[in-house]
Structures are given as structure tokens and as C-alpha cells.
Chains A and B, each alone.
Chain A
């Protein structure tokens, strides 16, 4: 996992967004609760988030992490487009961005596709297995946390 996921202290939120063409919501509601329980403020952009909106919100919020979630099978293609556009933006070359879910129409992504997503700019790629969620939680633990009240 990249060094970009190591702590930067502060009150930066975690940005949660559905894939460009993905209308699913329960994954986003679950992620919000999970991330909040790990001590982070969440800005949940909801489903079907276009690149321009994501880029605008990322510039506004200066997030500690951007989480893209997709389960409709277009996650790989949508995710490639999103991260490519995002990384092209000079203000967002270093923001940590991860993606997860059911990313292909024929089931989970293969290692080759995961590697391609990482090469395109994601810091980590998670599948939607129990193991994937556990790895994601460990990553959340490594982020800077706001004080729990």
C-alpha cells in the first residue's frame, strides 16, 4: 500500500462516491457508517457521481481519502475514467484514492485489472469479500482520526 495512505493530521473528511454510472446506494450507506465508526467525518456524494462533480468536491473538501464504490459491473471501466481525470488535475495528484466493490460484469476483478487500476492512479483496490472489507478497515485505522466524542 502506498505511502500516500499514511497519516496527515487534521480534520479532513473522507469523500465517498458511487461510480459514474452506478445507481446502487446501500454500499454507500454502509461505507459511510463504517468510516464514521473509524473516527472520520464523511462527505457522501451518493450514487452516479460524474468526474467533474467528484473533482470539484475533492478540491473543496481536501479529503484525507476518496473512496469510490461500485457494484453494477461497470466499476472497472468507470473507475479507470474517474481516476485518470482526477489525477490529471494539478490539485489532486497526491490525494489518496481507493476503489472497491463488484468491479466487473463477470464477477470480481482479476489481478491484471486490479494492477491496471493501481497503475492508473488508485492507491488500493478492494474486492467485496470479507477479506477485502477487513483490508479496507485496516487502511481506515491507518488514516488520521478526528477526536472521538
Chain B
């Protein structure tokens, strides 16, 4: 634990009583990307920077990314592999450093080209995972994703030779963004952290994405912390909370209230970092100014919130997550092999996930109290821990209803023309 790099920065901020806030930001133009990083750094908040890559680079379609760079066409992120190394070094020059680490966010199940590119411009922090960047989102077979991520972790870990402390964040706490009961989110986050550790990474963050019920979310972060304390004793780790990843409220008021609740969740549960969302989220990719406003708003809410963590191990969420993690670890000494077996046997099964390597037997629903629950656990070892509601086939209307539950709840109480008012109180009303 050198205290260097991304993990060390977040640790020091937490020790000083500050929540680190971070945008999801990526533009194809180097000038605009630099401006975005500068604006993030200079925001009135404790921030880290983000280079979110474009979708072509994510799926390895470097020809399309290169073409866009040559034509100056706009992409939905920064094409790190296609820009010249010197160009990206200029983007980062006198911005990236111990006082402002920058993380590369991508979404790739085969990220070797991304890890090589980020190393070559002096970066050492990224995110993802063999499961979370494969099953829910892509077409790469899980077996290949595990092999790609093994190689990529080792590639990143080798940067320690240069005196760096490379950092990786699990995306497992966000599977499909919504409608995944927290027990499974926590379990996959912990398993991916263990995978990183076993392949040489010693500075890790574990993600958890805000879901539908505040209390359940607090239980989930507490469970995540307990499991990390148990399974990652020799590792520098912290928790990163994501503001809700599903359909975001359409009113400015609702969006701010949801972000405020994410910031409160992060601080109360003892998490160290928060990925924000903006008022523009429901409409389009947010501007730099909208990101800065979200960072400053979240930081202000965090500053007036007190830590109040729950006891970690006493909840149903913990029991579910523990059973899933323990079940996988017992399948094979090699964690990659164990993960493959777990999905092949349906012992891990992401609800609504279309990937052929997912059993697809599990289903979830939002209960009347707003908690996410299982309607079918498939073959996951959760009997005796959770009582699934008898399943029935979900209609498109019911699915849309569940997908928009959070948006509806947070937009409902919006005062007329909330969008014009200057920052309503985040709580209640």
C-alpha cells in the first residue's frame, strides 16, 4: 500500500472526511476532453477525472474509431486507442497527477488494447470485470472474457514495476443497471475483486449501483464492506456507489433528489467515492457544465451528511451475497474456472440477461415496499435464504412500469416548473 495512484488518493480524501465524486465523461475531441477534465478538476468538490471511451473502441472496432478521428466526427466517448499517444499526453498534461488521478472507463470484454493504450500515456486506473463487462452487454463468450481479463489484469499489474500502484474497479455492482436484486450485485462485485486480486492487482474498488429502495441499498453496501473485509484482507480497497443507472427522472427536481439520495447513501454507508448522474441524463449525453453542476451538488449534499453505517452481516442481502460468493469459491481453486462453472450451472444467473452463457432462469420484481426481490432464483443456491414470489410471465407494460419505477417515484412530487428553480432542497418536500 504505497498510497500512490487512484486508490491512495481516494483513501486520503476519505480519511479527511470527504467523499470523492466523479463524472462519467468522454468526448472524441482532444480539446473538449481536456476542457472536461479541467472543469472536473476545478469543480468545487473533491474529484477524480474520467476518460470514458467510445463504443467503437469498446467493442474493438478500431477501424470505425479511427475513421471518426480522421473525419473529426463526434463519438460518444474518447477514442483512446485511435488518438496518437502524444495527443492524449497533451490532453492529460499538467492535469493528471497525484492531486487529480484520471480513470479510464470503457466497457470492454476484451480490453487488452485499452490497457496497453492507457499504460502508454501514463495512466494506471480503469474498471470493468470478466463477468460484468461480458454477460449483460456484449456477445463475447464468457470463457473468452475470462481469458481476456486475466491477461489484462496481469498487464495492468505489471505497471507496479514502474513504481505505480495500478487500480481496478469492479463493474459487478451494476449488472444491467437495474432490476437485479442487490445480493447478486454484491456477490459479483466481490467475486470480480477477488479475480483482480488473484491476477496481481492490489488496489481495488468495488462498485454498487443505487437501486429502488434506500434501506435495501444501505444493507447492500454494508454487506459489500463486510465481504471485502473478510475476503480481501491484504488489499487496498474502497467502495464506489453509482447514482441510479436506469431510467433517470425527467424533471430537474426529480433528478437532483435521486442524486442527493445517492450521495447520502454513499456517505451514510461509509463508501468512499460516488459516480454522479446529471439532470440531462434522461434526455441525452450531459454537457461538461451539467456534469460540474452534478459534482458540486453531490459534494454539497455529502458534506452535510453524517456516516451512519449499518451492521453488515445481519441482513438477507448479506446472506444471499455470501451464499453466492461461497458457492462459486467452492467450485474450483481457479476463480476464472469457478465463474465459468457457476454460470454454466446457473449458480449465478443474471435476470433478464440475453447472453447465451447466462442461464436466464432467474427473474426479479419490485415489491410493494420498493425492495427488489426475486420472483425466481433459478438454480442459484438461495433456497432457505430468500422466498421468491411465485413467478408469472411479465408483460411489456409491467416491465416498462418496473423500469420506470424510480423515474416515476422521483418525478411525482416535482413542483411545477421545478426546472427553473435554483436547486430545491434534496430531501423530502
Which positions in A face B, CB cutoff 8 Å?
Answer: 20-26, 28-30, 33-34, 37, 44, 46-49, 53, 72-74, 77, 102, 105-107
Contacts and interface: CB of A to CB of B under 8 A. Distances in A.
Interface of B: 54-56, 58-59, 61, 64, 73-76, 107, 136-139, 176-178, 246, 283-285, 352-355, 394-396, 399-400, 403
Contacts of B55: 21-23, 72, 74
Given A29-B352, A46-B354, A74-B76, A20 B396 contact: no
Nearest to B179: A26
The binding surface of chain B is classed by DSSP as loop
Given A25-B176, A33-B395, A73 B76 contact: yes
A23 B176 contact: no
A72 B24 CA distance: 14
A78 B395 CA distance: 30
Nearest to B284: A107
A120 B102 CA distance: 41
16 contacts: A21-B58, A23-B58, A29-B354, A30-B400, A33-B394, A34-B396, A46-B355, A47-B354, A48-B59, A48-B137, A48-B139, A73-B76, A74-B55, A74-B76, A77-B73, A107-B284
Nearest to B137: A23
Contact of A26 (B76, B177, B284, B394): B177
A20 B76 contact: no
Given A26-B176, A30-B396, 9 more contacts: A20-B61, A21-B54, A23-B55, A30-B403, A44-B354, A46-B355, A48-B139, A49-B139, A73-B284
Nearest to A47: B137
Contact of A23 (B73, B107, B284, B403): B107
A21 B139 contact: no
Nearest to A107: B284
A23 B284 CA distance: 16
A49 B354 CA distance: 13
A46 B139 CA distance: 8
Nearest to A137: B396
Nearest to B135: A25
Nearest to B246: A26
A53 B139 CA distance: 11
Contacts of B61: 20-21
